């Protein structure tokens, strides 16, 4: 499916996927920050409270073994960091795919197409005039319009 319309559909799909992955990534990063704050509070000798409920196990509220809890949440943080790394890689891959798919296949992204070179006589010289034309497929943008 290499028609302009086909490329367009694929590019739109990739763009949507990219947006979803970026949102997931943002949510994971927010969670990471919260868990880091929990760990810091445990480190300062504070107890976890109900406001941490979304992130932690209910049974950890008010527990007074900060060392064990810190280990537990550091473990979670490590898993989260791997997820973040994975999603970041995915975003990069999707960005590259989008870049390739949205590049105009007619001009290869340059915005210009070569026409036949014309020759002009100027006094004793014959001057070659390379015929560059603004690409009519992408209107010179080098990108297919989505």
Axis crossing angle, helix 66-101 with helix 4-43, rounded to the nearest 10: 160
> How do the residues of the chain divide into helix, strand and coil, expressed in percent and rounded to 5?
55, 15, 30
Contacts of 91 (CB under 8 A, 6+ apart): 18, 21, 22, 25
CA distance 36 to 62: 18
Q: Does 101 bind Zn ion (CB under 5 A)?
A: no
Contact pattern for Zn ion over residues 3 through 42, marking x by CB under 5 A: ----------------------------------------
Binding segment (CB under 5 A) for Zn ion, from list 4-12, 54-62, 100-108, 119-127: 100-108
Q: Does 132 bind Zn ion (CB under 5 A)?
A: no
Binding residues for Zn ion, total number by CB under 5 A: 6
Query: Which of 19, 106, 114, 115 touches Zn ion (CB under 5 A)?
Result: 106
Q: Does 135 bind Zn ion (CB under 5 A)?
A: yes
CA distance 129 to 21: 48
Task: Using the minimum distance from each CB to Zn ion, give the nearer residue, 66 or 109.
Answer: 109
């Amino acid at each position: 499916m290499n028609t302009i319309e086909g490329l367009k559909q694929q590019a739109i799909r990739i763009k949507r996927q990219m947006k979803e992955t970026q949102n997931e990534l943002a949510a994971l990063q927010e969670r990471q920050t919260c868990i880091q704050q929990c760990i810091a509070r445990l480190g300062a000798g504070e107890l976890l409270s109900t406001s941490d409920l979304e992130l932690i196990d209910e049974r950890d509220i008010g527990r007074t073994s900060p060392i064990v809890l810190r280990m537990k949440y550091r473990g979670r943080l490590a898993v989260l960091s791997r997820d973040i790394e994975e999603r970041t890689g995915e975003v990069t891959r999707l960005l590259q795919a989008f870049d390739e798919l949205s590049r105009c296949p007619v001009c290869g992204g340059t915005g210009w197409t070569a026409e036949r070179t014309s020759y002009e006589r100027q006094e004793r010289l014959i001057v070659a005039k390379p015929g560059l034309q603004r690409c009519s497929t992408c209107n010179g943008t080098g990108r297919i319009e989505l």
